[in-house]
């Protein structure tokens, strides 16, 4: 398939607000991905076929029955004065100024009483023009981090942050108005939680490549219910724990307590976008928290919408990079403590089986459309990951000289 329009239409359907069907600008027979929401929270995504009005009343009734037992509690149960102070960190290479402005504007519109924003300019070279888009907003600071990589940019934001909790998103995402409140309330209710991952949904599905990302990975989020993980909570129930880090969250929607960063450490600057490894720094910090006795939570009410890569070429590059980042991250863990090697090897056969032959659909698509070679790109990236980490180490040493 060539670069082109996405063959599905993304629709939001609030069951509490819908009477009968939902009228859409869709043709009968069009594929619809319906994000079902309750109390403002996405509780599931299904694929259905449009009729002459869009979503027929029979489908709405079906979805009401399907999600009848899912009743998320409404937010805003903790008074503003009891919510922790927060800092939101946004690393950027300022590739698209309109995207960054869109991101920051969504953060400024948050329903949260006490927060500030740090934009970290991570573009290479000292001769670039400064980012001046936010000069007139006292809530936004723009810092510079010359050491390449999103991890280094996030670490610079951490070093300058004033918040008791530090939340992270990327410059190709927009945050829901309740995003930070959901994170702050989770931390306030759960004193044992050190890190939180939130729900990530696509901002748009305009191209086939964006659909492929959702189909192949299940997007950034594959589940919709609140969760907590720790060594005590999970035990032996998850044979891949804690190394199946993708379930905990992603760098475009995560948060950490300041005290937990001081305890467990910050992002690994040898990993991530902008380094030779191209990923893995967000996964590693979740694993570091868990293996050192901490607790990670997933908060579905903390919603971020992400603009996926739009072209086929960008998609395959991303798949290769994610595979590379994954095994580079495992390499970093093993080199930091050789005991990880035995633990990872013990989980390797089951992990590869789940990777190559997933037991369930990762997306609502009844029939996936991503090319067969997608998995090959992922495997090639995984094979290159350890070498990429070694290159990142060498590059870092040269920079320090």
Q: How many residues does the chain have?
A: 401
pLDDT at 1: 41
Tokens of 325: 């980042």
Q: d(Cα 131, Cα 120) in Å, to the nearest integer?
A: 10
Q: What is the dihedral of CA 382, 383, 384, 389, to 10 degrees?
A: 70
Rounded Cα gap, residues 396 and 228, in angstroms? 35
Predicted TM-score (pTM) of the model is 0.94
**Which pLDDT belongs to residue 238?**
85
- In whole angstroms, give the CA distance from residue 190 to residue 295: 10
Domain boundaries, the chain: 8-66, 83-314
Using CA atoms, how far apart are residues 183 and 163, in angstroms rounded to an integer? Answer: 13
What does the pLDDT read at residue 378? 96
CA–CA dist 213, 215 (Å, integer): 6
Task: List the chain residues with pLDDT less than 70.
Answer: 1-2, 19, 74-76, 359-360, 401
DSSP state of 362: S
Note whether 278 and 387 are within 8 A (CB).
no
Architecture of domain 83-314: Alpha-Beta Complex (3.90)
Q: Report the C-alpha gap between 308 and 313 in whole angstroms.
A: 12
């Amino acid at each position: 398939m060539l670069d082109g329009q996405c063959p599905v239409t993304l629709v939001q359907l609030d069951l509490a607000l819908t009477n009968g069907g939902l009228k859409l600008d869709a043709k009968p027979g069009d594929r619809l991905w319906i994000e079902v929401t309750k109390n403002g929270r996405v509780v599931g995504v299904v694929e259905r076929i449009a009729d002459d009005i869009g979503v027929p009343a029979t489908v709405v009734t079906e979805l009401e029955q399907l999600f009848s037992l899912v009743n998320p509690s409404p937010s805003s149960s903790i008074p503003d004065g009891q919510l922790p102070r927060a800092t939101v960190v946004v690393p950027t290479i300022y590739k698209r100024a309109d995207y960054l402005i869109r991101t920051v504007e969504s953060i400024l519109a948050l329903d949260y009483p006490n927060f500030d924003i740090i934009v970290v300019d991570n573009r290479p070279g000292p001769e670039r023009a400064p980012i001046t888009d936010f000069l007139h907003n006292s809530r936004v600071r723009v810092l510079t981090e010359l050491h390449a990589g999103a991890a280094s940019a996030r670490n610079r934001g951490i070093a300058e942050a004033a918040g008791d909790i530090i939340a992270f998103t990327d410059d190709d995402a927009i945050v829901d108005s309740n995003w930070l409140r959901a994170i702050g309330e989770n931390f306030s209710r759960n004193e044992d939680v050190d890190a939180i991952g939130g729900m990530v949904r696509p901002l748009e599905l305009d191209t086939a490549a964006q659909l492929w990302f959702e189909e192949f990975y299940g997007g950034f989020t594959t589940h919709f219910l609140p969760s907590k993980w720790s060594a005590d909570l999970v035990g032996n129930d998850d044979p891949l724990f804690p190394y199946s880090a993708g379930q905990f969250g992603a760098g475009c929607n995560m948060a950490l307590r300041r005290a937990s960063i001081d305890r467990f450490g910050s992002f690994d600057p040898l990993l991530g976008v902008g380094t030779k490894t191209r990923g893995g720094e967000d996964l590693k910090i979740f694993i570091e928290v868990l293996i050192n006795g901490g607790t990670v939570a997933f908060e579905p009410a903390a919603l971020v919408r992400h603009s996926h890569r739009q072209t086929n070429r960008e998609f395959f590059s991303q798949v290769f990079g994610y595979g590379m980042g994954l095994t580079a991250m495992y390499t970093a863990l093993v080199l930091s403590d050789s005991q990880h090697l035995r633990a990872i090897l013990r989980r390797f056969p089951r992990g590869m089986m789940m990777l190559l032959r997933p037991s369930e659909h990762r997306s609502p698509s009844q029939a996936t459309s991503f090319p067969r070679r997608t998995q090959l790109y992922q495997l090639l990236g995984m094979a290159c990951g350890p070498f990429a980490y070694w290159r990142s180490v060498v590059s870092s040493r040269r920079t320090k000289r």
